[in-house]
Amino acid sequence: MNYPANRSPSTISIDAERLWSRHMEMARIGAIDGTGSCRLAMTAEDAEARELLASWCRQAGLDVHVDGAGNMFAVRPGSDPQRLPVASGSHLDTQPHGGRFDGISGVLAALEVIETLNDEGIETAAPLAVVNWTNEEGVRYAPGLLGSAWYAGLLDDEALARVKTADGTPFLQEARERGWLGDSADKFPLGAFVELHIEQGPTLEREGLQVGIVTSVQGLRWLDVEVRGTDAHAGTTPLDQRQDALFASARMLVALNEIGRRYGSAARVSVGQLRTATDGPSTIVGHASFVVDIRHPDADTLEQLTQECVAVCGTTGKASGCEVAVSERITIPPTAFHDTCITALERSAEEQGYSCRRMASGALHDAANVAKVAPTAMIFVPCRDGVSHNVKEYASPEDLAAGTNVLLHAVLKLAR
């Protein structure tokens, strides 16, 4: 490496003002409700945001490539032609009532790292890359995490070709028309990937910490629960002679919540949807169904937790005189991030004097897909009240700068 004589790389830091002003400039595209953003994937707004990012990247001397899912890779060469790029980034697309930071901060932090190295005249052995993954949010096109799923081989070319909007516009057609589709054979290999993201939860803020080192993304299970009792008259059927599917479901919900709490603070057990076949105030419900959403960062614990949830639905239903059938709808195993990347981030946070903790991500992120094909980890910065997917989403300039400084020094470690 080639440092200016009086600068040690361990003392450099990013330009917090430039980072913040880029956030504000990006937020002008698709601005809604004062502080919100609406840039759905491959709309005119998304295309404009991509063009702005590409122009900043070119000004920073980077070569901008686009792959067969519209993912953007802006590359700064390294001194060792044998090395694969150390990449960082996230997504520029937003929810319909999204904020200015979810995804955007990760992309802009990656660019800020490279601009800082440019300013300091620091060359790395491995090339560096800024990545913008396509359609993380999955609003116009399902599934979400589309670009990174294709990149990691979790979605093949045929499946990508079938992705359409609700009104039938194919994803590939729209990406091509917007000028953001590359050659599908062209998958851009990465040596490592580190994604900065706002936490989207309250933990860092509550604990007064500046940085979260994300060691895993929690796994998820969905259980479909069908509860069968007997429709009956509310006035004539004595309480001890009912097979009340709604009452049985209510008891199951309480029992499920209790199981979740027993598994400690990392466990999540939720029911967000409950349907009844009858809907009259004077009818005892004969058929109800609901979905249990179960999450945990540890695969074995997730399995155990799931089995307890299945069992309690059976016993509680039976005790209420109803028949219960439980089936599994979705399983997404937890993703463990790579030790090398985790350690690089943690050391950087400690060396720069930022308070931090290791944590699991409650939300899914592109990094969980990329982890299938390259060493990967994530860094979280706090966001106010844990609010995200909301126009009020806010991360402070100081916290963004702290996270980006950690990213800078982690990238230097990984790319040296």
The phi-psi region of residue 145 (left if phi > 0; otherwise alpha if psi is between -120 and 50; otherwise beta) is left
Residue 158 C-beta: closest distance to Zn ion, Å? 27
Cα distance between residue 139 and residue 210, in whole Å: 30
CA 197 to chain centre: 8
Residue 130 C-beta: closest distance to Zn ion, Å? 16
If binding is defined by CB under 5 A, does position 102 make contact with Zn ion? yes
**Candidates 76-84, 98-106, 271-279, 313-321; binding stretch for Zn ion (CB under 5 A):** 98-106
| Range 272-311, binding Zn ion (CB under 5 A) | none
The token pair at 193 is 């990937």
Residue 328 in contact with residue 358, Cβ under 8 Å? Answer: no
Indicate the residue among 135 and 306 with the shorter CB distance to Zn ion: 135
If binding is defined by CB under 5 A, does position 103 make contact with Zn ion? yes
Indicate the residue among 23 and 251 with the shorter CB distance to Zn ion: 23
Indicate the residue among 41 and 312 with the shorter CB distance to Zn ion: 41
Residue 335 in contact with residue 368, Cβ under 8 Å? Answer: yes
Give the number of residues in contact with Zn ion, rule: CB under 5 A.
2
**Candidates 60-68, 100-108, 201-209, 301-309; binding stretch for Zn ion (CB under 5 A):** 100-108
Indicate the residue among 102 and 308 with the shorter CB distance to Zn ion: 102
408 HSE (CA, 13 A, CB side):
31
DSSP class per residue in 91-160 = -----TTB-SSTTHHHHHHHHHHHHHHHHHT---SS-EEEEE-S-SS-SSSSSSSHHHHHHTTSS-HHHH
- The residue with its CB nearest to Zn ion is 103
Indicate the residue among 242 and 365 with the shorter CB distance to Zn ion: 365
**Candidates 97-105, 116-124, 326-334, 391-399; binding stretch for Zn ion (CB under 5 A):** 97-105
If binding is defined by CB under 5 A, does position 144 make contact with Zn ion? no
The token pair at 250 is 């209510």
Binding mask 46-85 for Zn ion (x = CB under 5 A): ----------------------------------------
The phi-psi region of residue 124 (left if phi > 0; otherwise alpha if psi is between -120 and 50; otherwise beta) is beta
Contact residues for Zn ion (CB under 5 A)?
102-103
